[in-house]
Structure 1
């Protein structure tokens, strides 16, 4: 399935520059494994980043060229999706059915069956990865047809849908889709009927819940 929601251009630029935390990079790389469009955008950002680096070396003749390259890169990354992806850019070979995405294996192990979910609320289970930086990396499994509390974010959040789906104010998010969110977004995900929604999320700040009960329970969940 071709993803309909992608990494933000600014996130791709940060990733190309090596500026994402290990947790954020793991979620971004999980999306990139299955998204040819974002892989092409990342390659563009890396090429322009190389040019920007060259501009910073001694002997660079035109400092203004770096700013022009940066503006051009962001402009290209913000172009609408192309009608079709080039045949030459194919997704990596599929891993075994029971295998977790490769970027997540250092944090959660190799196998779906080996996961040990922790109950955090009715219909909600979670696994928290050990921190490699100050950011939080979690796997969430949410029962079908469940409404999550309305919340916003004190920082950035990258959420990649692995199985199932949910809907919120930003649209429908299914397997392969990326929710690249910042502090301007307030939403209430509602999982789709049928199967649990499983996603991986990296956060660099706590959530902000609107309801008093969710705020009361927040220290217990640790998000």
Structure 2
């Protein structure tokens, strides 16, 4: 598997620093299982962060200022790095197995695609909300082939990992292994490709924003 859409550098740095909400971490970890490119970025961010911390004067600046400075320095150094060469992943590709969900999802959705208990959300759209998370939103979506989702933007971060099927929007084509790392500046309308349902796992740290009045009216019902 060779994903074409990766984690944003700021997400990589926050993941390495342990500064992401748990729901975002779960989806990021799912992506990292099969993306050698992003694993190399995380490893490098952890290495850079360790070196920078060694050169900090802990008593000289407040903790929040120190973290902000470390984050900026790590991002700067990551930006200057050449993209790592594509390397074969030593890990298995759970997306290509017949029935096994990716390991980071097991505590929240179980281990098996066949055992998933989908709930109707809208025509052609079914979802499962994660068990055991306390903040934000973590859910799995199954969207029928050839379906258009409502146009929406984001109140905060949305991180979506494609597990099966595919969709396209203004940002490109997203297939199994790809991750959509979106913020409040992005407005899009995913459209699933014909042939097979698109299954993805999404984490939100703030509600979506819908420009259409119908979707806005239904948003409290869907809790998105």
Are 2:109 and 2:131, in contact at CA under 8 Å, matched by a contact in 1? no
Residue 75 (structure 1) shift: 3.8
For 1:11, the equivalent position in structure 2 comes to 11
| Consecutive unaligned residues in structure 1, runs of 5 or more | 61-65
Partner of 2:121: 120
How far off is 1:81 after superposition? 4.1
Do the aligned partners of residues 80 and 215 (structure 1) sit closer, same or farther apart at CA in structure 2, a change above 3 Å counting? Answer: farther
1:63 aligned residue: none
Does the aligned pair in 1 maintain the 2:154–2:209 contact within 8 Å?
A: yes
> For the residues of structure 2 that align with 1:70 and 1:212, how far apart are their CA atoms?
39
What corresponds to 2:22 in structure 1? 22
- Measure, in 2, the Cα distance between the counterparts of 1:30 and 1:18: 16
Q: 1:58 to 1:136 in 2, by over 3 A?
A: closer
CA RMSD, aligned part only?
2.2
Name the structure 2 match of 1:93: 92
Distance 1:80 1:179 in 2: 22
Matched positions, count? 215
Q: Name the counterpart of 2:143.
A: 142
8 A contact 2:12–2:41 mirrored in 1: yes
Describe how 1:162-173 pairs up with structure 2 within 5 A. 162-173=163-174
- Alignment partners' CA distance in 1, 2:43 and 2:14: 13
Query: What TM-score, normalized to structure 2?
Result: 0.88
The whole-number CA distance in structure 2 between the counterparts of 1:200 and 1:107 is: 11
Gaps of 5+ in 2: 61-66
How many Å separate the matches in 1 of 2:100 and 2:201? 15
1:94 is displaced (CA, Å) by 4.3
In structure 2, C-alpha distance between the alignment counterparts of 1:162 and 1:70, rounded to whole Å: 30
